[in-house]
């Protein structure tokens, strides 16, 4: 339960830093520290226990991505490139489109059952982690390894490995990130299309004497 509260607190701090991104750095740090303290207070005073009571537990993946977002907002270092973030969001969305319908009974196969200590499933995730490491997707590899270690130590209330890897709110965030990414890319193309004719018309016309 303690780890669930810490994960939720990281997510709340990341959201507060995103909302206050236009503020000065010192004020943002003060907001983050205040939200962290308020989130970690015990029930019924803390924010995190209330959020968990309504939304359910978040996965370790959500917590680690929130931690990377906090470090990015406070330190200015981008731990995940845009390409890696885009690829991770695409994988999450496609995984959710396959996983949730299957787990809810659209097929005789139940992938959620694999999370109860299935050795083949664990080996597949470790193999995926090796592929991510060889592809230099180090953050994805670390997330996979940390989630499996946390599952081995039962740090979250759930005894299913899937709940350490993915949660519905993470999928909503990934979907929103991809939609925003597409909108920003389209806006950039429109600006480029407008600026090119203007630049061409502003260019001096050479005349032969």
- For the chain, what percent of residues have pLDDT higher than 90? 38
Interatomic CA distance for residues 163 and 30, integer angstroms: 32
Residues 139, 143, 144, 145, CA torsion sign: positive
Give the pLDDT of residue 77. Answer: 75
Q: What is the pLDDT of residues 54-97, one digit of tens each?
A: 999 999 999 999 998 998 888 877 777 888 888 888 888 988 99
**CB-based contact 165:61 (threshold 8 Å):** yes
Q: Structural domain boundaries of the chain?
A: 1-56, 79-189
**CB-based contact 39:13 (threshold 8 Å):** yes
Give the pLDDT of residue 206. Answer: 54
What is the pLDDT of the chain when averaged over all its residues?
86
DSSP 11: H
Give 105-132 as a DSSP string: IISS--GGGGGTT-HHHHHHHHHHHHHH
196: helix, strand or coil = helix
Interatomic CA distance for residues 107 and 105, integer angstroms: 5
Q: What is the pLDDT of residues 104-119, one digit of tens each?
A: 888 888 889 989 988 8
The residue among 206 and 26 whose pLDDT is bigger is: 26
- Read off the pLDDT of each residue in 10-26 and give the average, rounded to a whole number: 91
Q: CB burial class (10 A; 0-12, 13-18, 19+) of residue 153? A: exposed
CA gyration radius, the chain: 22
Per-residue confidence band for 209, with pLDDT thresholds at 50, 70 and 90:
very low
Q: Which residues contact 128 (CB under 8 A, 6 or more apart)?
A: 144
Q: What is the pLDDT of residues 149-176, one digit of tens each?
A: 899 898 998 999 999 999 999 999 999 9
Q: Which residues contact 73 (CB under 8 A, 6 or more apart)?
A: 14, 17, 18, 21, 28, 32
pTM over cut 0.95: no
Cis before 44 (ω within 30): yes
């Amino acid at each position: 339960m303690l780890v669930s509260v810490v994960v939720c607190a990281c997510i709340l701090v990341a959201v507060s830093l995103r909302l206050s991104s236009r503020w000065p750095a010192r004020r943002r740090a003060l907001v983050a520290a205040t939200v962290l303290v308020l989130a970690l207070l015990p029930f019924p005073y803390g924010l995190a226990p209330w959020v968990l009571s309504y939304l359910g537990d978040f996965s370790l993946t959500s917590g680690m991505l929130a931690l990377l977002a906090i470090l990015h907002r406070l330190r200015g270092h981008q731990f995940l490139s845009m390409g890696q973030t885009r690829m991770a969001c695409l994988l999450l969305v496609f995984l959710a489109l396959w996983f949730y319908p299957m787990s809810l009974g659209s097929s005789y196969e139940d992938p959620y059952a694999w999370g109860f200590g299935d050795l083949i499933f664990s080996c597949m995730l470790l193999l995926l982690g090796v592929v991510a490491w060889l592809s230099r997707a180090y953050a994805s590899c670390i997330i996979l390894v940390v989630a499996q270690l946390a599952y081995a130590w039962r740090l979250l209330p759930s005894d299913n490995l899937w709940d350490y890897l993915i949660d519905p709110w993470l999928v909503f965030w990934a979907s929103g990130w991809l939609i925003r990414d597409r909108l920003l890319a389209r806006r950039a193309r429109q600006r480029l299309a407008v600026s090119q004719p203007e630049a061409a018309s502003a260019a001096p016309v050479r005349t032969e004497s």
